[in-house]
Amino acid sequence: MSLPQISYVIPLYNENKAFPFLIDRLNEVMNKSDIDIEVVLVDDGSKDTTADLMQQLALQDQRYQCVFLSRNYGHQIALSAGLSVVNATEAVMVMDGDLQDPPELFFDFYNYYKQGYDVVYAIRKKRKESILKKAAYSIFYRMLKKISYIEIPIDSGDFSLMSRRVVDILNKMPEESRYIRGMRSWVGFKQIGIEYERRGRTADESKYSISMLFRLAFNGIFNFSEFPIRFITRMGLVAITLSLIYLAITIIKKAVWGTVPEGFTALLFAIILFSGVQLISLGVIGEYVLRIFHQVKSRPLFIIKDQIINKQYVQRKERSSSSLP
Ligand code: UDP
Ligand code: MG
């Protein structure tokens, strides 16, 4: 069998309500186009019937491939798992399973790909979410853009088409706390954003809890910005400067009016000065800890429990893990 030109990667967590709609829309896209497309569905340890639905489908329809993860790893890792098994020769389409991202946008993306773009990402023009959530997203993306050391486009999520070579590079990036839209920007190449209107969810509520959203946001900040740690150092510098100014003022006061109680001033000065020094030291240590932290973890990102490849069910077989020290 020849390899498909395009792979869709779709992570799913408890999406049994949206599933039939999703598959309808995907079938429509595949039937309409003469491009050879496969769909890689990733079950991120769903607790509902999502995995069963996936299995039923993929055992009948060769265009669907399935990956079942050993537990719930979270959206970004599930996405990475999907990216690691795609067969696409040309490009990979990354999409959510709740139909907030219209699968038909692929045709527009693909046109840009054909024009030589390695990454075509979607920019959300409008969001159908609550005002509070919209405001939080908007503030976060703008802040991240300000403090990040790479150019991360505003209001773009993971919904995108990436060329095979970009996906190969992402697959080789070993970082554990993954922020795919940031890594995608980091890779470089020719990239372009297209505006689209993000729908509300078709079925069900969001599978991202508030704490998961925060974790994602933190991954964005701490993986792509050195601002927080540099901020500590700067605070230390400010504290030291203030203490020196205070010292100068007291000395002048003492010389002119002779009114300053001595012991108290010295104490205050020492406290402020050394708090400044401590903050700077923390910042410097933090710099090293951060780098070690990012480097040292070399756990596998995810564990694939089972897979369905070309209608064949493949179970993970491993009696003992010999790689542990
Ligand atoms: N998802 C996942 N693992 C999780 C949470 C979510 O694979 O732990 C999937 C989910 O099924 C959906 C996509 O990630 O296909 C985006 O999730 P969701 O729609 O809940 O996020 P939101 O659109 O609210 O940001
Ligand atoms: Mg969604």
**pLDDT 10s digits, 88-107:** 999 999 999 888 888 998 99
- Mean pLDDT is lowest, of 39-53, 176-190, 280-294, for 280-294
> Which pLDDT score, from 0 to 100, does residue 299 have?
75
Q: With cut-offs at 50, 70 and 90, classify the pLDDT of residue 262.
A: low
> Which pLDDT score, from 0 to 100, does residue 7 have?
95
Domain 6-208+300-323 falls in which CATH fold?
Spore Coat Polysaccharide Biosynthesis Protein SpsA; Chain A (3.90.550)
Residue nearest to atom 25 of ligand 1 (CA): 208
* Of 166, 155, 165, the residue nearest 194 (C-alpha): 155
**Overall average pLDDT of the 115-121 stretch:** 93
Residue nearest to atom 24 of ligand 1 (CA): 206
Alpha helices in the chain (DSSP H): 19-32, 50-60, 75-85, 106-114, 131-147, 164-172, 180-187, 210-224, 227-256, 262-296
- Mean pLDDT is lowest, of 5-9, 70-74, 285-289, 311-315, for 285-289
> Which pLDDT score, from 0 to 100, does residue 282 have?
82
**pLDDT 10s digits, 229-243:** 778 788 888 888 888
3-class secondary structure per residue, 252-311: HHHHHCCCCCHHHHHHHHHHHHHHHHHHHHHHHHHHHHHHHHHHHCCCCCCCEEEEEECC
**pLDDT 10s digits, 9-63:** 999 999 998 999 999 999 999 998 889 999 999 999 999 999 999 999 999 999 9
**Overall average pLDDT of the 146-172 stretch:** 85
Top mutation candidate among 9, 10, 12, 13 for ligand 1, by most atoms within 8 Å of CB: 13
* Of 118, 117, 179, the residue nearest 148 (C-alpha): 179
Model pTM score = 0.71
> Which pLDDT score, from 0 to 100, does residue 202 have?
62
C-alpha to C-alpha distance for 239 and 253, rounded to whole angstroms: 21
> Which pLDDT score, from 0 to 100, does residue 63 have?
93
- Contact by Cβ (8 Å): 64, 37: no
Task: Tell how far the Cα of 34 is from the centroid of ligand 1, in angstroms.
Answer: 29
> Which pLDDT score, from 0 to 100, does residue 319 have?
66
Q: What percentage of residues in the chain have a pLDDT greater than 70?
A: 92
- Contact by Cβ (8 Å): 86, 42: no
> Which pLDDT score, from 0 to 100, does residue 325 have?
46
72 Cβ closer than 6 Å to some ligand 1 atom: yes
Instruction: Name the more confident of 77 and 215.
Output: 77
Please, is 121 exposed, middle or buried when counting C-beta atoms within 10 Å of its C-beta (0-12, 13-18, 19+)?
buried
> Which pLDDT score, from 0 to 100, does residue 1 have?
63
Task: Tell how far the Cα of 23 is from the centroid of ligand 2, in angstroms.
Answer: 16
119 Cβ closer than 6 Å to some ligand 1 atom: no
Q: Is 176 a residue whose pLDDT tops 80?
A: no
Task: Tell how far the Cα of 140 is from the centroid of ligand 2, in angstroms.
Answer: 17
> Which pLDDT score, from 0 to 100, does residue 260 have?
66
Q: With cut-offs at 50, 70 and 90, classify the pLDDT of residue 127.
A: low
Please give the DSSP secondary-structure letter assigned to residue 5: S
> Which pLDDT score, from 0 to 100, does residue 173 have?
87
C-alpha to C-alpha distance for 176 and 44, rounded to whole angstroms: 17
Task: Tell how far the Cα of 201 is from the centroid of ligand 2, in angstroms.
Answer: 6
Task: Tell how far the Cα of 74 is from the centroid of ligand 1, in angstroms.
Answer: 8
C-alpha to C-alpha distance for 244 and 270, rounded to whole angstroms: 10
Q: Is 114 a residue whose pLDDT tops 60?
A: yes
- Contact by Cβ (8 Å): 271, 279: no
Q: Is 204 a residue whose pLDDT tops 70?
A: no
Question: Which ligand 1 atom is the nearest neighbour of the CA of 44?
Answer: 7
> Which pLDDT score, from 0 to 100, does residue 2 have?
83
- Mean pLDDT is lowest, of 250-254, 259-263, 271-275, for 259-263
Mean pLDDT of the chain: 84
Q: Where are the domains of the chain?
A: 6-208+300-323, 227-296
Q: Is 324 a residue whose pLDDT tops 60?
A: no
